[in-house]
Amino acid sequence: MNEYFSAIREGQIDAIIGSDPESTVLHIEAMKLHEENKRVAEVLARSNAKLKELDKAKSEFLSTASHELRTPLTIIKEYVGLLHDGIAGPVTSDQKECLESALQNCNRLANLINDILDLQRLDSGRQRIRRKKVDVAALLGDCHHDFLSRCQTKYQRLELQISEDLPPVLCDPGMVTQVLVNLVGNSHKFTPEGGAIMLRGYIQDTVGQYITFQVEDSGVGIGEEDQECIFDKFTQLNRQPGPGAKGTGLGLAIVKNIVELHGGEISLKSSPGEGSTFSFTIPVYSEARELTTFVEDCLSAATAAGRELSVTLVKLDTTGQADSGHDPPDEVDHLREIEQCVRQTLRRKNDETLIVESEKMLVIVAETDEAGAESVRRRVEQSIANEFGATIAVALAGGMVCADDSIEDWMQKMKGQFLRLRPETVAKRVLIVDDEEQVLELISQALESSSLNLKIELANEGYKACLRFEGFEPHLVILDINMPGFDGEEVLRQIKSNPRWGATKVMVISGTPEKFRKMAELGADDCLAKPFDLKALVDMVANLLQDSKGTTLAAERELVKS
Amino acid sequence: MAKGKILVVDDEPDIVKTISMRLKSSGYDVVTAMDGIQAVEVVMKERPDLIVLDIRMPGRDGHGVAARLRDSTETAFTPIIFLTASTTESDYQTAVGAGASKYVTKPFEPEELVAAVEQLLQSGHKRYAL
């Protein structure tokens, strides 16, 4: 019976016809439940949409309000500053002291606005986190260095204690530095003259998945009842900070937010009069963790911005390269080359790439729609050298992938989209340019009936050919030189002047071979004099498409022979 | 002898006034404009060595001014310091895209602004044309 209900609930059974009165009753009950479920789901969806709308309104309000606050604050601060600096006329030392206090409070207000905006960005997930492999000693060392002179003015000892051989962590170094600066700043403020502050980095957990960062001071300490709310927003404890500006009450809320965004935890041990110890954890770097968080971060950024996201995975396939006789080319180096090429087509600031060295994989995440993803894929296809085969997978997040999916779900879903790309199976795109229709016909027929796997397009004028580069992205252009108007030489210049077409091969054909040398100088890869033998043409095309890294110009060789 | 001529553009008269005073006291010649359209006129007439430009102004905004100046070869390389109360990343990106040499957020430290001006003029920094 349970199975029956769950089947009804899941909508697998829509209606049951039966004469058994008991089953009819059950059926009616089940239908009622089904309806109820649908209704609840609708209500939830509606209130969810409403909440999202409200959250957006809140963000907009905070952003506008902060702008409106900043302008008058800037003006006040500047006028006070002009007076204080004596630019508006001489000031007495008493007046200067008053102006000093006014300035300090302007700064306090400015800090508060900045903190509110920081927290707002963190809360709403709009803060873009850029994680990378970071050395723990460098992080702590920089913070120690920055605070050393400030602590010396209060005769405080600032010490650094880092365990040996700590593995690197995976974090946004700017954000973790913000956490450290905040904690050490607090310790500095709440520790009396002659006290001590200790900065530590070590591994506490037995599995070694996290590094613990610790800031311990010999300051005034925090009472037990206060410890519970210390990470809440706008908490100002009744601590005696001594001289210096008061905080905004948001610092520790920001700190906690950042630590949790990194997947770590923060804790506090303290008792009044005996100092405080803040400890937080940051995960140890691993390639797998980097990949997971990279994709998740990109997804949440795109979701927050309401944009579509496409993900392209490129996995190099090096089987069969051993018999080529050359030294095996380095896959990671080649991935970097592909990355460079692809970067030229990426426009948005959130478009990112990541190389997973152990997997020989390049991940490209771009805020594009289907057409954009297609052009990224084509760019990748074009930039893969012939020694390599590759597997390329493209997925559009938003449609088939949602931000809540775990990376495993996500890879699983992408699997269906995988596309095997091998040199011999990829159709190479060839653009034939000639003003004579018969020549176009002749060449395309010859190529189509050959054993080569080609996709062919034709252009009967030079400028039309140039217009096709963007959409068609040919591997090879077969180019007539003598054409009315926009001639072959001009087309060749266009191709060679744009770095995007650097990998495109050009084969010139002409009834006037005298022009070949000039064309070779302009960067043509090969040439063929008209009238030509069709078999020679097909061989030349095969050769050019196969030898994508060939540098010796066959055109030059021809000239030497003649 | 003035260290250089600087155009200050903001729709808030008090911002224009305070920045002008600050820059004059640091030894610069200052010309001013209260909106984007006036700013372009003043640039053409006065040929300032550097522009301090507010982003959000009614009518032609800071981005519009920068784009307009970029189109003319004579003004394309005049360094621009964008001044804004906005801290959103998209504004920052647009400003850098429009060829901002420097980006200063309100409220700013006067020393920071003066240092930015000095550095840009001394290094002969060129706004990169896109």
Between helix B13-25 and helix A21-84 the angle, nearest 10°, is 40
Is A119:A250 a contact under the CB 8 Å cutoff?
A: yes
Residues in B 94-123 with any Cβ partner in A closer than 8 A: 106-108, 110
Closest-approach residue (CA) in chain B for A110: B107
Burial of A165 (0-12, 13-18, 19+ CB in 10 A): exposed
**Superfamily of domain covering A428-561:** Response regulator (3.40.50.2300)
Residue B118 counted as domain residue: no
pLDDT attached to residue A417: 47
- pLDDT per position as a tens digit, A50-67: 887 887 777 778 777 777
What is the spatial distance between Cα A261 and Cα A257, in angstroms, rounded to a whole number? Answer: 6
Within 13 Å, how many C-alpha atoms sit on residue A116's CB side?
19
Min Cα distance B45 → chain A (Å) is 28
pLDDT attached to residue A426: 55
**Cis-peptide, bond into residue B107, ω within 30° of zero:** yes
**pTM of the full structure:** 0.57
Residue B5 counted as domain residue: yes
CATH topology of domain A287-421: Alpha-Beta Plaits (3.30.70)
Neighbours of A93 (CB within 10 A): 6
The CATH number that applies at residue B49 is 3.40.50.2300
Interchain pair A74, B107: CB under 8 A: yes
Q: How many residues does chain B have?
A: 130
Interchain pair A88, B21: CB under 8 A: yes
Where does chain A hold its CATH 1.10.287 domain(s)? 1-126
Alpha helices in B26-109 (DSSP H): 36-46, 62-70, 89-97
Neighbours of A500 (CB within 10 A): 15
Reduce the DSSP state of residue B69 to 3 states and report it. helix
What is the spatial distance between Cα B39 and Cα A95, in angstroms, rounded to a whole number? Answer: 37
CATH topology of domain A1-126: Helix Hairpins (1.10.287)
Question: Residue B64: pLDDT band by 50, 70, 90 thresholds?
Answer: confident
Chain A residues whose beta carbon lies within 8 Å of the beta carbon of residue B11: none
Is A201:A162 a contact under the CB 8 Å cutoff?
A: yes
pLDDT attached to residue A349: 66
Question: Could you give the C-alpha distances from B121 to A343, A436, A530, B127, in angstroms and in order?
Answer: 33, 58, 60, 11
Q: Which residue has the higher pLDDT, B72 or A561?
A: B72
> What dihedral angle (degrees, nearest 10) is formed by the CA atoms of A20, A25, A26, A31?
130
Is B108:B83 a contact under the CB 8 Å cutoff?
A: yes
Q: Is the pLDDT of residue A520 over 50?
A: yes
Nearest to B110 among A73, A81, A114 (CB): A81
What is the spatial distance between Cα B56 and Cα A558, in angstroms, rounded to a whole number? Answer: 64
Interchain pair A67, B86: CB under 8 A: yes
Nearest to B106 among A63, A71, A81 (CB): A71
Q: Is the pLDDT of residue A77 over 60?
A: yes
Look at chain B and report how many structural domains it folds into. Answer: 1
Q: Which domain holds residue B60?
A: 1-10+44-111
Question: If DSSP states are collapsed to H, E and C, what string results for A474-514?
Answer: CCEEEEECCCCCCCHHHHHHHHHHCHHHCCCEEEEEECCHH
Is A201:A212 a contact under the CB 8 Å cutoff?
A: yes
Residue B39 counted as domain residue: no
Interchain pair B85, A117: CB under 8 A: no
CATH topology of domain A132-283: Heat Shock Protein 90 (3.30.565)
A124 touches chain B (CB under 8 A): no
Reduce the DSSP state of residue A17 to 3 states and report it. coil
Q: Which residues contact A313 (CB under 8 A, 6 or more apart)?
A: A361, A362, A363, A364, A391, A392, A393, A394, A414
DSSP class of B78: -
Which residues are registered as beta bridge partners of A527? A508
B72 touches chain A (CB under 8 A): no
Q: What is the ipTM of this complex?
A: 0.73
Site from A63, A69, A75 to mutate, B interface, most B CB atoms within 10 angstroms: A75
Most confident by average pLDDT, A15-19, A199-203, A293-297, A305-309: A199-203
- pLDDT per position as a tens digit, A186-218: 999 889 999 999 999 999 877 778 999 999 999
A305 touches chain B (CB under 8 A): no
Reduce the DSSP state of residue B80 to 3 states and report it. strand
